[in-house]
Amino acid sequence: MAPIDGAGPGGWRALAGELARLGRWRLAGVTALVVVSAVAEGAGLLLLLPLLDRLGVTGGGSAAPWPLSTLEGALGLYVVVVVAAALVMRARLLAAARLRLAFTDGLRDRLHAALLRMEWSGFQRLRQADLVHTVIGEVGRAAMMVEWLVAAGAALVTMPVLLAVGGMLSPEMMAATLAAVVVAALLSRPLDRRSAALGRAMGEAARGLHAELTEDLGGLRVIRAFGAEEARRSRFAEGMRELRARQIDHVAAVATSGAGLRAGGAVAAAGGMAVAVHGFGMAVADSLVFVLAFARLTMAGLRLQEMRRHILFALPALEGALALLERAESAAEPPSAAAAPSLERELRLEGVAVRHAGAAAPALADIDLAIPARGVTAVVGPSGAGKSTLADLLLGLLPPERGWLLADGVAVVGAARGAWRRTVGYVPQDAFLFHDTIRANLRVADPAAADAALWRALEDAAAAELVRGLPHGLESVVGDRGARLSGGERQRITLARALLRRPRLLILDEATSALDAESERRVQAALERLRGTVTIVVIAHRAATVRMADHVVVLEGGRVAASGPWQDVAGRTPWLA
Ligand SMILES: Nc1ncnc2c1ncn2[C@@H]1O[C@H](COP(=O)(O)OP(=O)(O)OP(=O)(O)O)[C@@H](O)[C@H]1O
């Protein structure tokens, strides 16, 4: 569990900064509603005096202006004021909810955008389950603070109104009440620190649970294959127990302070009533209204404390979300330039070294390589040789630690990287597809593409027949990560997606698992048809792909061990035999 300490001033400052983003007018609107509802509450209370007067509680008969001079008039006005207060309260709750949702969406949008723009190497260091937890869970928890703040603000504004009502009846008694509220607030300060620490611990527990669930769902095939259901279930149950314990601790802390304040309030109300009547000789009606004001004041104080505790509990969630935002924004890739370097002659790597974030040794070192334009280049090598790292480098995702990636002699660095990537078609090894229709998946490469262009790309990728055969054609949904298609079908759809943008460079990270002979033949045929029209780099795992290449690069231990035509390097690739 996190050490017990309070939320630092940084947390409150961060909250103030986030609220400022919501806009001056929005905040002013909610504040106005809060003030009006507090004044309405005080007015409703004061109206009880002439009402009690008319009812004869104080003997009645005192002069009052119309409509308060008659019982019906006083009752009518009372009802009007209370109904108006209820309507203002409704508007306040609605405005607070709107403010909370604007806070949630604003922060989620900034986080999401920052994560999408992050340098690939920085992004790879983050755990995906933690990101989902922060963007969805923690931001949602942090946003609740907006409503709590409005509720706390309402309590805070109500207090002087109630103090004024009570003060009109007995200034001495009200001064004593105020002193009691301040002492109660000071006495409960240790609980504040506990709330902040519990908030942090609850965030940790919730994150652990989220990570467990994400891994269970992602690795369900392995869990089922190894019969690990019970073990995973008990880990998840342990995570839930931990989370539940933190939540109960928090509720207990809030409930304890509430019970203390309520008990103190009751004792003070009874004592105050006795003192007011016997000590100060207050009229019964006055003392009744006074005690009512006093009770509401205690409730407002109680609510203020409760909201403060809730906010302290949720502040760590905001701090965590803002820390992630800062991390993502400070690791943002440079904005993309408008124009990308051409690829008419060759793609060249000069003295390139690439090191993954946190890795001791570089994944690629001293790479000097020329990839001829419009040729087919196969990259081969044993597992861990650096093939996928090379693909990420050519794609402009990973910047070299040393050396240069040059397209027709122009360095693909800084702002050129994003622009370069828009001219590259990429077919990932896992042939990832979104849980969406084929049309939507293809349009990831070109959102404005017409159906005719989609069909052309499908034809080029030898996938048109496959899509025509699906019950809903382009409208067919492919399932989670494309699970409703076979490995070979997925690869052809991802090839079509890559071709849709008419790339200058096509990078295929070939699936390591064997495709059936028919799928393999179709993909090979598609690549053959593209030969000479686009520069193709294939991370090759199959002999057939290597044989069709004009140029083969053999990587070993992150270095180029050999390069040249297949016949020249064949002896160095026993793993492809
Ligand atoms: N995100 C990462 N963080 C740290 N090290 C990494 C990361 N990705 C890869 N590596 C390391 O870089 C080296 C090259 O990995 P890479 O994935 O490029 O090899 P590969 O040739 O594509 O292997 P395979 O054929 O098994 O996919 C390996 O030593 C690997 O452990």
d(CA 380, CA 543): 10
Residues in contact with 213: Cβ distance below 8 Å, sequence separation at least 6, in sequence order: 129, 236
Which of 120, 387, 429, 575 for a ligand 1 pocket mutation test, highest count of atoms within 8 Å of Cβ? 387
User: Tokens 């070939």 identify what position?
Assistant: 510
Which of 128, 354, 388, 390 for a ligand 1 pocket mutation test, highest count of atoms within 8 Å of Cβ? 388
- Angle (nearest 5°) at CA 233 between 230 and 238: 125
User: Tokens 């140029």 identify what position?
Assistant: 551
d(CA 118, CA 131): 13
Q: From the alpha carbon of 381, which atom of ligand 1 is closest?
A: 21
Structure tokens at 130: 């933690």
In one-letter notation, the amino acid at residue 410 is V
* Residue 124 near ligand 1, beta carbon < 6 Å: yes
- Of 124, 558, 117, 122, the closest CA to residue 354 belongs to 558
Backbone angles phi, psi at 341, to 5 degrees: -60, 150
d(CA 420, CA 573): 31
Q: What is the pLDDT along the chain (577 residues), one digit of tens a residue?
A: 333 344 556 788 889 999 999 888 888 998 998 888 888 877 777 777 777 776 666 544 455 666 667 777 777 877 888 888 888 889 988 999 999 999 999 999 999 999 999 999 889 888 888 899 999 999 999 999 999 998 888 888 888 888 887 777 777 777 777 777 777 777 777 777 777 788 888 888 888 888 899 889 888 877 887 788 898 999 999 999 998 998 898 888 878 877 877 787 777 777 777 777 777 777 777 777 777 777 778 778 878 888 888 898 889 899 999 999 999 999 999 888 778 888 999 999 999 999 988 888 899 999 999 999 999 999 998 888 899 999 999 999 999 999 999 999 999 988 889 899 999 999 988 888 998 899 999 999 998 999 999 999 999 888 899 899 998 999 988 877 777 787 788 888 999 999 998 899 999 987 666 566 777 787 788 888 888 899 999 998 877 778 888 899 999 999 998 888 887 777 766 655 5
User: Tokens 């943008």 identify what position?
Assistant: 501
Q: Which helix (H) or strand (E) segment is 404 a member of?
A: strand 402-407
The pLDDT, as a whole number, for residue 366 is 92
CA 388 – ligand 1 centroid, Å:
7
Closest CA to ligand 1's atom 29 = 384
Residue 35: C-alpha distances to residues 151, 161, 163, 292, 295 (Å): 12, 10, 15, 20, 20
Helix and strand counts by DSSP (H, E) for the chain: 20, 10
pTM: 0.80
3-state SS, 373-400, equals CCCEEEEECCCCCCHHHHHHHHCCCCCC
Q: From the alpha carbon of 558, which atom of ligand 1 is closest?
A: 14
* DSSP one-letter code for 277: I
Give yes or no for a contact between 213 and 236, defined as CB atoms under 8 angstroms apart.
yes
* Residue 363 near ligand 1, beta carbon < 6 Å: yes
E strand segments, 283-363 = 346-354
* Residue 387 near ligand 1, beta carbon < 6 Å: yes
* Residue 359 near ligand 1, beta carbon < 6 Å: yes
User: Tokens 């009512």 identify what position?
Assistant: 292
Closest CA to ligand 1's atom 3 = 356
CA 191 – ligand 1 centroid, Å:
49
* Residue 384 near ligand 1, beta carbon < 6 Å: yes
Residues in contact with 152: Cβ distance below 8 Å, sequence separation at least 6, in sequence order: 303, 304, 307, 308, 311
Which of 389, 542, 559 for a ligand 1 pocket mutation test, highest count of atoms within 8 Å of Cβ? 389
CA 219 – ligand 1 centroid, Å:
21
* Residue 486 near ligand 1, beta carbon < 6 Å: no
Report CA 245 to chain centroid distance, whole Å. Answer: 25
Give yes or no for a contact between 500 and 460, defined as CB atoms under 8 angstroms apart.
no
Is residue 428 reached through a cis peptide bond, with omega within 30 degrees of 0 on the bond before it? Answer: no
Closest CA to ligand 1's atom 28 = 384
* DSSP one-letter code for 371: E
* DSSP one-letter code for 60: -
* Residue 389 near ligand 1, beta carbon < 6 Å: yes
d(CA 570, CA 543): 10
CA 300 – ligand 1 centroid, Å:
60
* Residue 69 near ligand 1, beta carbon < 6 Å: no
CA dihedral 320, 321, 322, 325 (to 10 degrees): 120
- Of 491, 488, 501, the closest CA to residue 444 belongs to 501
DSSP three-state, residue 5? coil
CA 511 – ligand 1 centroid, Å:
15
